[in-house]
Structure formats: C-alpha cells, structure tokens
Amino acid sequence: MTDIIRAPWTPDQVAALNEFQHRGGVHPFTCGGDHAPGSPVLIAREDGWHCPQPYGEPCDYTQDWAHAFMADRLKWFGSFPPSRVADDASVQDDPRQPAYDAVFAYIRSQPRDFLPTTVVGRNAMIWDAVHAALDAVGVPGTPAKET
C-alpha cells in the first residue's frame, strides 16, 4: 500500500493529480455517486476530488485523499509505457503543446465551480477552448464573409 495524502492540496499537487488522472496509465479515481451511463473521472481541486457532473445531474460526491506518489510528478512520470506518457523533451518539442497549454489556461480561467448545465453552454465552452488552442498554434481563422 502506498502513502496517502489528504486535502487540502497545493496548486502544484492539484495539477499533478489531474495530470495523473489522465496520463497515469492506471484506472483513474471515479465518482462514487449514482450516475448513468457511468462513473465520471474525478477532478482534483485544492479541497479534494470532485465529481465534474458531466451529465447535468447534481452530485456532491467528494474524496479527500490520494496516493502520495500521484501528487509528485517526478515519482510517476516515466513509470508507464511511452505510449501513455512522453518524456519532458518530447512534450516540449510537440508542436501541439501550445494548443494543450491554451486549452488548459482557458479552462483554468473559468470560475472554479463553473460547468454549463446545458448542452449549448457546454458546446460553447468547448468551442471557446478549441479556438484558444487554434490561435495558440497559429491556425488562421476563416475570414468573415462579406454580406
């Protein structure tokens, strides 16, 4: 069994925990609430894990602990197959990295507990993040049509 850490977590720990959830090579922590069609992946915040409520259902599920190694990127980065986690050099050389960074920055700029409750609202948020990513990598926008 590994050491356990309990919230509150630092911003750096939160970033590492969320990255581990998506890149760690093992099954992520998921919501223990009653959801259909399935259990969503938890999101780390400074006060613990939270359900992202992806189905528009209210959910107050939280978890206040994590395995200590998950919050320390140096302990797990590179421990999984290269297909799951790239080394620092390849991440920095990836021409898509500015797009990933822009999406992450856009999402972090949103109010902390904000997730649109309608499909239209969620789609708009996704498209705003996509546009931030495209702008970050220099993809030109479609010129406006003259009317």
pLDDT tens per residue across all 147 residues of the chain: 569 999 999 988 998 898 888 775 678 888 888 776 667 888 999 999 998 877 777 888 899 999 998 888 777 765 554 433 434 443 445 566 677 667 766 766 766 566 666 767 766 777 777 777 788 778 776 666 666
Residues 6+ apart with CB under 8 A from 133: 98, 99, 100, 102, 103
25-39, pLDDT tens digit by residue?
Answer: 678 888 888 776 667
Residues 6+ apart with CB under 8 A from 9: 17, 44, 46, 48, 66, 71
101-126, pLDDT tens digit by residue?
Answer: 677 667 667 665 666 667 677 667 77
What's the rounded Cα separation, in Å, for the pair 104 and 98? Answer: 10
